[in-house]
Structure 1
Amino acid sequence: MKGSFPFTAPTWPGGVERRPLERRTGTDYDIAWARRYPARVARALIVDQVLRPVVRVLGSPQLHGLDRLEALEPPAIFAANHKSHLDTPLLLTSLPDRFRHRAVVAAGADYFFPNRVTGAVSALAIGAFPIERRRVSRRSADLAAEFLDDGWSLVIFPEGGRSPDGWGQAFRGGAAYLALRTGLPVVPVHLEGTRRVLKRGAKLPTPATVHVTFGAPLRPGDGDDARSFGSRIEAAVATLADERATDWWTARRRAATGETPSLAGPRTTSWRRTWALDESRRQPAERRWPR
């Protein structure tokens, strides 16, 4: 009969409690399978044999500061600025071997896990796990802490998303909170040049040289909370950016006097911000030896 079952949805008995539909996407995506040995072997092959050659062709990566990690043992939290989709494969393939093959990436649930297929590719290829970017999520925090407690290193972008104009955004407190919760160190990382290769909205990449600068590991102090330690992480990444633009001595002097240029750039109109960004690239500061 038209207008009744099976042509319409069946009725639900009034005395029976409805069970909520089970979601298997977004932050509810189950990534347990991606931690098992077969998936880890497949991911190691993808990272080393696929992503690394692609990154080398597109970015000719130059690595700086690896000596600062020589005494550091896994696991650790790697916190970097974020300007491009190239950032994740670049940072993953730049990590020392002892970190690279047992690392996970905190990835936006709305972008990397919108459906099962995209989620499976993200989890398998780069070791991504879903986090909620638009609000505080205890589920995301617990999952990240579980990985760290199990000996996995974490790659996280505290800005929460790619830069819309090339300048940095304020760091959120996720990396700092996880460091306080687990007692693990945070390695500040500055990525430079990835936006020139693949900026937000670009359909095709443009090869250009990229730089990865690792900073000295940071640990929370006795009086640190997530806010204060998060500010220290952001300041450390800004100092690494200044180190690339000038030299080690100048960057440390500016950091000591509170003169480090902000990652966020000047607070002015959009065209002036664009001009200032281009000008900073064309005119690097003069490098000088300390007196």
Structure 2
Amino acid sequence: MSTGHRRYTSASWAMARFLAQRGFMKPLFWSLLNVHVHGKRNLAGMSGPYIAVANHSSHLDGPLVMSALPPRLTRYLATGAAADYFFTSPTKAFAPVVFMNAFPVERGGSRSKHRGLSGNLLTEGVPILLFPEGTRSRSGAMAAFKPGPAALCISRNVPAIPIALVGAHLAMPTDSALPKSGRPDVHIVLGRPMWAEKGETARKFADRMHDQVLRMHDSMALATGFPTMADYAAEAERLKQQKAVETEQQKAVGQAAEDERTVEHERTAGHDSKHAGADRPATRDRERKDNQ
């Protein structure tokens, strides 16, 4: 690993992160939210590099996962962050790097100097946190998992830890800058480590991880009164149809207004033309008198 990447495995960086995460980040988010962590026993005896995968619908997701996992599993945990958003300037990258040990991930399959960094970190023994949907869900509903994290699990022979975040989208939707007031409930469900099966493709393993996170989410949602993924999807479809109806109504109103303007223009033009015609005989009479 290059000199610039030593922070991922540096003991001094790990200590600084521990102090930042446990002394500031976790107390802050735990004071703004009522956080419930489930399934810690599923990670008993867990060691070595891994890939944590979770549903993604809020800026709360990364800090919640980092704070919910046992400290022994997060000492070197690095979080994948969009290179085109968080790593466009040192100022923007500062907080993700200090608190989340963030590393740049290219979106859209583009090639750059960051290509292969995820695999290199796993090879060096650094566990990573990735959100396989690729971006935050605007509706709360889960999208299909991209096969990249699954392919890394297979190529580096590491397990995936499925994590379901329940209520994070409602606590801080994608269009919000801060969590909602009143310490809304958020549930974090930690699942048993998953390994790729012999001969399993990345696509099939990704789908299996997706289905596991979905089951974990919906089981907790039903037990705690939160919307299921199907509920989020149904609401998103309802809003989509409502927007389509409103758009059609606006078009109809606009067209009616345009038609009214056209009729008024034609009426005014006809009125002016009539007056012009009535004035012409009088004008001709005046012209004859002048000529005489």
For the aligned pair, the TM-score class normalised by the smaller chain equals: 0.7 to 0.9
Does residue 225 in structure 1 map to residue 201 in structure 2? yes
Q: Distance in 2 between matches of 1:87 and 1:235?
A: 19
After superposition, the Cα gap between the structure-2 partners of 1:81 and 1:112, relative to the gap in structure 1 and judged at 3 Å, is same
Q: CA deviation at 1:169?
A: 1.6
Does residue 204 in structure 1 map to residue 172 in structure 2? no
| Residue in 2 that maps onto 1:241 | 217
Q: What per-residue deviation string (whole Å, max 9, x for no partner) do you get for residues 80-108 of structure 1?
A: 00011111111001111211111000111
Q: What per-residue deviation string (whole Å, max 9, x for no partner) do you get for residues 195-219 of structure 1?
A: 2222112133213111000111111
Q: Distance in 2 between matches of 1:235 and 1:51?
A: 30
Name the TM-score, length of structure 2 as normaliser.
0.73
| Residue in 1 that maps onto 2:40 | 66
Q: Distance in 2 between matches of 1:194 and 1:163?
A: 11
Report runs of 4+ in structure 1 exceeding 6 Å deviation.
none
Name the TM-score, length of structure 1 as normaliser.
0.73
**Which stretch shifts more, 44-53 or 113-122?**
113-122
The one-letter code matched in structure 2 to 1:265 is: A
The one-letter code matched in structure 2 to 1:210 is: V
Does residue 132 in structure 1 map to residue 102 in structure 2? no
Q: Distance in 2 between matches of 1:86 and 1:267?
A: 22
Does residue 265 in structure 1 map to residue 233 in structure 2? yes
**Which stretch shifts more, 70-79 or 157-166?**
70-79
Structure 1 runs not aligned, ≥5 long = 1-29, 248-259, 275-291
The one-letter code matched in structure 2 to 1:245 is: A
| Residue in 2 that maps onto 1:114 | 88
> Identity over the aligned pairs, expressed in percent?
29
Q: Distance in 1 between matches of 2:30 and 2:236?
A: 36
**Which stretch shifts more, 130-139 or 54-63?**
130-139
The one-letter code matched in structure 2 to 1:119 is: A
| Residue in 1 that maps onto 2:70 | 96
Structure 2 runs not aligned, ≥5 long = 243-292
Q: Distance in 1 between matches of 2:197 and 2:11?
A: 37
Contact preservation (8 Å) 1:173, 1:226: yes
Contact preservation (8 Å) 2:139, 2:232: no
| Residue in 2 that maps onto 1:149 | 123
Q: CA deviation at 1:241?
A: 1.3
After superposition, the Cα gap between the structure-2 partners of 1:181 and 1:263, relative to the gap in structure 1 and judged at 3 Å, is farther
| Residue in 2 that maps onto 1:84 | 58
Q: CA deviation at 1:31?
A: 4.5
DSSP-derived class of the 2:52 partner: strand
Contact preservation (8 Å) 1:265, 1:273: no
Q: Distance in 2 between matches of 1:264 and 1:60?
A: 21
After superposition, the Cα gap between the structure-2 partners of 1:237 and 1:271, relative to the gap in structure 1 and judged at 3 Å, is same
Q: Distance in 2 between matches of 1:60 and 1:181?
A: 38
DSSP-derived class of the 2:233 partner: coil
**Aligned pair count?**
233
Contact preservation (8 Å) 1:113, 1:122: no
Q: Paired residue for 2:26, among 43, 52, 72?
A: 52
DSSP-derived class of the 2:185 partner: coil
Q: Distance in 2 between matches of 1:182 and 1:73?
A: 15
Q: CA deviation at 1:155?
A: 0.8
After superposition, the Cα gap between the structure-2 partners of 1:102 and 1:93, relative to the gap in structure 1 and judged at 3 Å, is same
Contact preservation (8 Å) 1:131, 1:137: no
**Which stretch shifts more, 70-79 or 43-52?**
70-79
Higher helix share: 2
After superposition, the Cα gap between the structure-2 partners of 1:79 and 1:106, relative to the gap in structure 1 and judged at 3 Å, is same
Contact preservation (8 Å) 2:106, 2:115: no
